[in-house]
């Protein structure tokens, strides 16, 4: 298929590489042009503008940072809507608000193009191995069109609804559990430290008994070792953005996420303390500081 990809951060680059490996014809655009070099060397074509990038593409993938960045990329004079062919499909793989997803769907409907929310679950290393989970929502025919592209970087694809925002709510629900679990482990480790319990014993409880998913085991070990270097993972800045989206979406439906408010406060404090680019699990350091641990 002829595919365009806008946004080449850690996740976007890994997804682009998988799309190339699957044999699709890929054109890319990134605001910082130098970030396209790696995928261009692997066979992608670079463009000077988002409008040029998406021209002629059957599927346009966006992997940007937040609501504003994707809306700006879609609506600008040299942007996605201006360049997309009628009938083409915009697939947004990033974490955005449910309201933004509905706004994007409306923009595309008015233009004669189509929109599918396709947020992914997994880290950039999972994307590089084709092991992401993709949750899709949008018109059935549009989902059918984007599925071969999703198969390039996903080991699991779930079509949820014809309403795009449902996929974004699903992603926020999943990320809320990840964020809450990090907080749970951190609080428990603090209690263990102050009570004289060896952290290895608590870690083994999580790894061997409580959590079976590899990501849960990974975070249990990261917090035990206090290993919070970014190294291509999910940063505090990204985590804070997602927590704010979760809290906003929950408020919209009258379902308070109280642990989420705690996590958001700690992530905000971490960002203010210069930890913006550390892994978001570094909120454990805020828990330790509040408990009087060095």
Where do we find the tokens 């008994």? 209
Instruction: Answer yes or no: are the C-beta atoms of 291 and 194 closer than 8 Å.
Output: yes
pLDDT band (50, 70, 90) for residue 229: confident
- The beta-strand segments (E) located in the chain are 2-6, 25-29, 45-46, 59-62, 89-92, 114-117, 120-121, 132-137, 154-161
Distance of alpha carbon 94 from alpha carbon 128, whole angstroms: 16
222 is catalytic: no
Distance of alpha carbon 129 from alpha carbon 154, whole angstroms: 9
Q: All domains of the chain, ordered by start, with CATH?
A: 2-162 (3.40.50.720), 169-290 (1.10.1040.10)
pLDDT of residue 221: 92
Convert the pLDDT of each residue in 32-65 to its tens digit: 999 999 999 999 999 999 999 999 999 999 999 9
Neighbours of 55 (CB within 10 A): 18
Convert the pLDDT of each residue in 90-116 to its tens digit: 999 999 999 999 999 999 999 999 999
CA torsion sign, 175 to 176 to 177 to 181?
positive
pLDDT band (50, 70, 90) for residue 230: low
Question: For residue 239, what are the CA distances in angstroms to 124, 140, 193, 269, 276?
Answer: 15, 31, 26, 12, 10
- The CA-based angle 71-13-157, given to 5 degrees, is 75
Phi, psi of 191 (to 5 degrees): -60, -45
pLDDT band (50, 70, 90) for residue 231: low
Convert the pLDDT of each residue in 143-201 to its tens digit: 999 999 999 999 999 999 999 999 999 999 999 999 999 999 999 999 999 999 999 99
The half-sphere exposure of 11 on its side-chain side, counting CA atoms within 13 A, is 23
Where do we find the tokens 């490996």? 21
Q: Which of 171, 222, 241, 266 is catalytic?
A: 171
Task: Give the distance from CA 193 to its chain's centroid.
Answer: 33
CA torsion sign, 105 to 157 to 161 to 66?
negative
pTM of this prediction? 0.86
Q: Dump the DSSP string for 169-204.
A: HHHHHHHHHHHHHHHHHHHHHHHHHHHT--HHHHHH
């Amino acid at each position: 298929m002829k595919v365009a990809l806008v946004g080449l951060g850690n996740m976007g680059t890994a997804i682009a590489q998988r799309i190339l490996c699957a044999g699709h014809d890929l054109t890319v655009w990134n605001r910082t042009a130098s970030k396209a070099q790696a995928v261009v060397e692997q066979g992608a074509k670079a463009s000077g503008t988002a409008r040029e990038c998406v021209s002629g593409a059957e599927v346009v993938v966006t992997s940007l940072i937040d609501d504003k960045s994707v809306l700006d990329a879609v609506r600008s004079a040299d942007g996605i809507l201006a360049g997309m062919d009628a009938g083409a499909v915009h697939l947004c793989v990033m974490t955005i608000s449910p309201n933004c997803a509905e706004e994007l769907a409306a923009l595309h409907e008015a233009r004669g193009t189509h929109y599918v929310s396709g947020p992914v679950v997994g880290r950039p290393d999972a994307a590089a191995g084709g092991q992401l989970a993709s949750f899709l929502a949008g018109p059935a025919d549009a989902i059918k069109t984007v599925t071969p592209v999703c198969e390039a970087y996903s080991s699991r694809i779930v079509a949820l609804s014809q309403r795009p925002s449902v996929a974004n709510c699903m992603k926020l629900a999943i990320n809320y559990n990840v964020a809450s679990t990090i907080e749970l482990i951190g609080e428990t480790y603090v209690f263990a430290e102050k009570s004289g319990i060896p952290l290895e014993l608590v870690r083994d409880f999580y790894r061997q008994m409580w959590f079976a998913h590899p990501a849960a085991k990974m975070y249990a070990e990261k917090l035990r070792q206090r290993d919070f270097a970014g190294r291509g993972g999910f940063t505090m800045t990204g985590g804070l953005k997602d927590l704010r989206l979760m809290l906003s979406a929950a408020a919209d439906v009258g379902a308070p996420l109280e642990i989420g408010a705690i996590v958001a406060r700690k992530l905000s404090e971490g960002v203010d303390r210069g930890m913006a680019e550390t892994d978001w699990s570094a909120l454990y350091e805020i828990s330790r500081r509040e408990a009087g641990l060095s």
